[in-house]
Structure 1
C-alpha cells in the first residue's frame, strides 16, 4: 500500500492479528441487535482507546482516511467496544479492506436477523475468518 510520500506502508494489515484482536461480543440477542438504531446506542470508541490500538499494530503515522479503528465483530453483529475487538482496518488494501468487510457485516446481520443464522454463528465466523 502506498503512503502519502509514495512509500510502501508495510504495516497495513489485511486481517487482524488474532493475538491482538481475538474478538469480543457484547450480546448475541437478536431482539436487541435487530432493533433499528441499536448500534448508535452502543458505539463508543474514544480516541484515547484508538491510539494504543494503532501502536500495538505498529502504525505510528497515517493519512486521513487511510484507516479506521474497526470492530472485528461488528456492532451490528453484537460486537463490543473493548480493545480485544478493535483493530486498524485499511480502506486502501487489496483485496480486503474496510469496504469489503462492511458488505460482509451487512450480509451476516441480514442473515441473522432473518433467522437463517444465529448471531453466535455470525460472530464466530467473522472473528475466525472474515
Structure 2
C-alpha cells in the first residue's frame, strides 16, 4: 500500500520532475520497476489502491453533500496535487507509457459517491486507452450517484459495488 508519507515526498519530487518534462527520469516507452500490478486492469491493484471514503459523506448527509448539484467541485483536489500523485502512480504501476495525458488520476471511490478527495489510497492513474477506459467508469459513477440520490440504492451498496469492481457495479446493484 502506498503510504501517505512516502507519497508526499515522492509526489513533491514527481511534480518537480513532471513540470520539467522528466517524469522520474524515465523516457516514454521505457519499462519501469513497478510495485503495483497491472494484471487487474481496468481495475487498480487493491493492495496499492484500496479506496477510501470522505467521512463527511454518509447516508444521512447525502442531501447536503453528493446530491447537491456542483458539490464535487467543492472537494475536488487541484491538478497540482493530483498530477504529482499521477506521476508517482505511473511509476508504481510500471506503465511503459509515461505520458501524463494518457491517464486520469482517478478516485477508485468517486467523489460522486463520497470518495476521499485527497487520500492516496483512493487515487490511481487509470489509463484512458484500452477497453473499458476511464471514460467508461464516469458513466457508471453518475448512474450510481443518481440511484443513491433517488433512493433506489443505499450509499453503502453503491460504494461497495464500485470499490469491488466498477465494471460490474451497475449489475450488482440492479441499476444496470
Residue 59 (structure 1) shift: 2.8
Note the residue ranges of structure 2 that are not aligned, 5 or more in a row. 1-27, 30-37, 167-176
Q: Which residue of 2 aligns with 1:71?
A: 107
1:58-105 CA distances to partner (integer Å, 9 max, x unpaired)? 1364235311110001101101121100111111111x1111101100
Q: Which residue of 1 aligns with 2:72?
A: 39
Give the 3-state SS of the residue equivalent to 2:101 in structure 1.
coil
Report which structure shows greater RCO (CA 8 Å, sep ≥6): 1
How far apart are the structure 2 equivalents of 1:107 and 1:48?
29
Which of residues 15, 33, 38 is equivalent to 2:43?
A: 15
Residue 109 (1) aligns with residue 109 (2): no
Change (3 A) 1:17 1:63: same
TM-score by structure 2 length? Answer: 0.62
Residue 116 (structure 1) shift: 0.6
Which of the pair has more CA radius of gyration?
2
How far apart are the structure 2 equivalents of 1:48 and 1:98?
19
Q: Which residue of 2 aligns with 1:30?
A: 62
Aligned residue-pair number: 121
How far apart are the structure 2 equivalents of 1:103 and 1:22?
21
Provide the alpha-carbon RMSD of the alignment: 2.0
